[in-house]
């Protein structure tokens, strides 16, 4: 297998990808016992690093694992992984598992976590997806009750996303007790009568960094933005629907369950928000925004 990156970080070492080895008794492999983060890199700068590290701290605390590095150490590790001559935007993938131990559900004492990270080029959505929007399907949210933890155990998410792909869609919009939670790998926004609405934070959604930024930008520019439960009927009568994530940014959803959203085209609120988001990104690259 060829790898786009020249090196990975594993437990204090920088290695070629094909030389990196993890024990088959790693609890990440055996139990899915670990967490991860994905951090975009624009213009060589780690995007909203403090926010990502704060979420990392929350995920680690939730699974009762000590953070193995300080913010300064993480910054050094990530920076060393970045392709220095890379012209394209990149992303850092970080994974921390509880480490290697004999298989037993109970936490082993005195265990050393496994820390793995690498950088790769950021893959953006094709331009036609941004111009025309994408299709999504609604499906029952079959995941566990702690979706706020960015856990590596993503089998339910993978099954839900594949269900969408099998139906010719790009994303699954997850519904729990008649209320939209999020996408299989994204947060969901709806626009209704000029108001932007997204699910409030809680144990059933991952607190997306891009989600938070969209809320922040909206409020800074006088766009009505509410964090409220989104009922299925609100979704089906929405003027616009978007998905947000670090890699897909802000992508319009123009068809849900084979029915058009609004007039079936990306709407004016998306045009405005995406322009504001791009302005923010440009300011960040120029060192004028955090």
Beta bridge partners of residue 226, listed in sequence order: 197
- pTM, two decimals, is 0.95
- Predicted pLDDT at 289: 87
**Are 8-121 and 127-285 the same fold in CATH?**
no
d(CA 185, CA 115): 23
Residues 173, 164 contacting (CB under 8 angstroms): no
Which pLDDT value is given to residue 165?
Answer: 98
pLDDT value, residue 85: 59
What is the mean pLDDT of each successive set of 10 residues along the chain, which is 290 residues long? Answer: 77 97 98 98 95 98 98 97 79 98 96 97 92 98 98 98 98 98 98 97 97 98 98 97 96 98 97 98 92
Q: How high is the pLDDT of residue 3?
A: 58
Residues designated catalytic: 150
Whole-number Å distance between alpha carbons of 72 and 53? 11
Q: What is the topology classification, in CATH, of domain 8-121?
A: D-amino Acid Aminotransferase; Chain A, domain 1 (3.30.470)
Among 253, 257, 248, residue whose Cα is nearest residue 189: 253
CATH top class, domain 127-285: alpha beta
pLDDT at residue 88, rounded to an integer: 81
Parse the chain into domains and list their residue ranges.
8-121, 127-285
> What is residue 83's predicted lDDT score, i.e. its pLDDT?
73
* pLDDT of res. 59: 98
Query: Over the range 195-224, which residues count as b (16 or more CB within 10 Å of their CB) and which as e?
Result: ebbbbeeeebbbbbbbbbbbbebbeeeebe
């Amino acid at each position: 297998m060829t790898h786009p990156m020249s090196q990975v970080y594993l437990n204090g070492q920088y290695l070629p990808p094909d030389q990196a080895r993890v024990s088959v008794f790693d609890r990440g492999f055996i139990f899915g016992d670990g967490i991860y983060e994905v951090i975009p890199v624009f213009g060589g700068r780690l995007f909203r690093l403090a926010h990502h590290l704060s979420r990392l701290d929350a995920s680690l605390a939730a699974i009762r694992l000590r953070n193995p590095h300080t913010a300064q150490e993480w910054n050094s590790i990530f920076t060393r992984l970045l392709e220095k001559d890379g012209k394209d935007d990149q992303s850092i993938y970080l994974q921390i598992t509880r480490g290697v131990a004999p298989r037993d559900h109970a936490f082993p004492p005195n265990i050393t976590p496994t820390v793995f990270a690498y950088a790769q080029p950021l893959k953006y959505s094709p331009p036609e997806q941004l111009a025309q929007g994408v299709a999504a399907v609604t499906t029952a949210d079959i995941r566990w009750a702690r979706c706020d933890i960015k856990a590596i155990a993503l089998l339910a998410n993978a099954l839900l996303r594949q269900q969408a792909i099998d139906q010719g869609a790009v994303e699954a919009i997850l519904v729990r007790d008649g209320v939209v939670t999020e996408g299989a790998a994204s947060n969901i926004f709806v626009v209704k009568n000029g108001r932007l609405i997204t699910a409030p934070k809680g144990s059933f959604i991952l607190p997306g960094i891009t989600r938070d930024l969209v809320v922040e930008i909206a409020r800074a520019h006088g766009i009505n933005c509410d964090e409220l439960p989104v009922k299925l009927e609100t979704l089906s009568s929405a003027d616009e629907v978007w998905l947000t994530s670090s890699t897909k940014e802000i992508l319009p959803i123009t068809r849900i369950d084979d029915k058009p959203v609004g007039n079936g085209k990306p709407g004016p609120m998306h045009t405005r928000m995406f322009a504001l988001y791009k302005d923010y990104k440009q300011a960040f690259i120029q060192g004028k925004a955090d």
